[in-house]
Structure 1
Amino acid sequence: MKNILHIISSARGDQSYSQGLSTAIVNRLLQRGNINKVIVRNLVKQAPPCADEISIHEFYKHPEAYDDQSKQLLSYADMIVDEMREADVIVMGTPMFNLGISTPLKMWLDQLIRAGVTYVFDEHWTRAGQFKGKKVYLAVASGGRSIDGTPDYISDYIKDVFRSYTGITDIETYRIEGTMEKGFEADYESILKDF
């Protein structure tokens, strides 16, 4: 039995196309069966804290150096790390904001990625991710349409961060594009026809 972590990061709520697509992916996974539970982490309704002058130092400490203040300042970060550890499948939805991921998703990543927690260094100072073997489905919504040869800033970024700092390499991207076009209607089934 598998656990799914569903990450929602659009401020548009029920009108969000990235949320609609990520929810359609979760529903497909549920239809397949063998799912134990789904944890939903809505990064807009429960926004990740921003790093500040005090907390930023905690992110660069080795876990062996944590004290009571560390535990307090890293309580959100520890919670989302535990959710990632428990998940077998991560479904992430994000709109494209100025060619990048949503602000809440970036804040979530900044809380998640930590030396000694999501990755460690071996004796040769090579990074080794600690979350290998997990599957990520990325649902991206954009108002315009991509053109052949245009860099894929979102999925390339997510793949690089996860590969380098968590060890997750199995990432599949689904897109819903042209959402700002007049008369646009979402067709999630067509997008996921080869799912």
Structure 2
Amino acid sequence: MKNILHIISSARGELSYSNQLSSAILEKLLQQGNINTITVRDLVKDAPPYADEVSIHEFYKHPELYDEQSKHLLSYANRVVDEVREADIIVIGTPMFNLGISTSLKAWLDQLIRAGVTYVFDEQWNRVGQFKGKKVYLAVASGGRSAEGAPDYVSAYIKDVFRNYTGITDVEAYRIEGTMENGFTADYESILKDFNSVTEMP
């Protein structure tokens, strides 16, 4: 039985195409069965805190040096880590903002990634991710359409973060583009026609 973590990061609520696409991915997973729990984390309704002059130092402490102040300042971050640790599948929806991810999703990633927690260093000082074996589905929405051959900054960035700082290498991206065009109609079935189900996870 698989546990799913669904991350919502668009401020547009039910009108959000990234939210609708990530929900369509979730429905595909539910149709496959073998799902134990679904945890929904709406990063707009429960926004991640931004690091400040005090809290930033806690993120660079080794876990062995945590104290009561660390426990307080890292409470949100620890919840983020626990939710990712307990998930087998992570579904993330994000709009594209100026070729990047949403502000709330970037803040969530900053809460998640910590040395000694999501990754450690081996004897050669290579990073070793601690959350291997999980599956990530990305649902990315953009108002315009990418030019032919243009890089996918959003998917590439998220894939690199997960690979380098958590050890999660199985990241699959689905995109919906042109949402600002006159008469635009979303066709999620077409976008997900080649969806790889949870049963195909290694």
TM-score range, shorter chain: over 0.9
Instruction: Give, in angstroms, the shift of residue 62 of structure 1.
Output: 0.1
Corresponding position of 2:101: 101
% same residue: 79
1:68 aligns with 2:65: no
Name the SS of the counterpart of 2:175 in structure 1: strand
Letter in 1 for 2:179: T
1 CA distance for matches of 2:4 and 2:156?
A: 22
What is aligned with 1:26?
26
The aligned residue for residue 186 of structure 1 is 186
What code does the residue aligned with 1:139 have?
A: A
Q: Distance in 2 between matches of 1:153 and 1:190?
A: 23
Superposition deviation, residue 194 in structure 1: 1.1
TM-fit CA distance, 1:80: 0.7
Q: How does 1:97-136 map to 2 (within 5 A)?
A: 97-136=97-136
Unaligned runs of 5+ in 1: none
Alignment RMSD (CA, Å): 0.5
How far off its partner does 1:151 sit? 1.2
* Partner Cα separation in structure 2 for residue 149 and residue 186 of structure 1: 23
SS of residue in 2 equivalent to 1:5 = strand
Indicate the larger mover: 86-95 or 184-193.
184-193
Residue 85 of structure 1 corresponds to: 85
Q: Take 2:74 and 2:123, find their aligned partners in 1: how far apart are those partners?
A: 27
2:138 partner amino acid? L
- Write the distance in 2 (CA, Å) between the matches of 1:100 and 1:121: 28
Structure 2 unmatched runs, 5+ = 196-202
Cα distance in 2 between the residues matched to 1:122 and 1:150? 36
Alpha-carbon distance in 1 for matches of 2:92, 2:126: 28
State how many pairs are aligned: 195
Q: Find runs of 4+ consecutive structure 1 residues off by over 6 angstroms.
A: none
